[in-house]
Amino acid sequence: LNELQQRYGPRGFQVLGFPCNQFGHQENAKNEEILLSLEHVRPGKGYKPNFIMLEKCEVNGKNAHPLFTFLKEALPFPHDDPSSLMTNPQYIIWSPVCRNDISWNFEKFLIGPDGVPFKRY
């Protein structure tokens, strides 16, 4: 994500990072710990995001952040793999489960400068 921001930021592109703990409980740190974890643990080695990192939120289920509800309604399926929600259903920890749910961390939405969602990967 840093590379995307560095490469396309000068042209008005902006990466927004939304930590989420709904995928294998991989982001179980508190909001104030997330940046320190990135810097010192994973990926470590002094890593600091050069993009906007927002507070942890839910992206699926009844507590999904309204932004992700909007994005999933606008783009119900990923452009690159519309065939499956998740390979192993034991990892689904939210309810209700919908076909347009985000299937794993690092799913991306590309939004045009006019605010209209363009592609989902």
For 73-110, letters b (16+ CB in 10 Å) and e give eebeebeeeeeebeeeeeebebeeeeebbbbeeebebe
Quote the tokens at residue 52: 């906007």
Does residue 67 sit within a domain?
Answer: yes
Share of the chain above pLDDT 70, in %: 94
Closest CA to 57 of 15, 2, 17, 98: 17
Q: What is the pLDDT of residue 83?
A: 60
- This prediction has a pTM of 0.86
Closest CA to 52 of 78, 16, 28: 16
Expressed as residue numbers, the domain containing 32 is 2-6+16-120
Does residue 11 sit within a domain?
Answer: no
Cα–Cα dist 76/11, whole Å? 28
Q: Residue 66: in which H helix or E strand, if any?
A: helix 66-74
Has residue 71 got a pLDDT over 60?
Answer: yes
Quote the tokens at residue 36: 């320190």
CATH number of the domain to which 97 belongs? 3.40.30.10
Does residue 91 sit within a domain?
Answer: yes
Strongest mean pLDDT among 50-54, 80-84, 95-99, 106-110: 50-54
Cα–Cα dist 63/43, whole Å? 28
Does residue 40 sit within a domain?
Answer: yes
Does residue 47 sit within a domain?
Answer: yes
Provide the domain count of the chain: 1
Burial class (CB in 10 A: 0-12, 13-18, 19+), 72: buried
**Section 48-61 average pLDDT:** 97
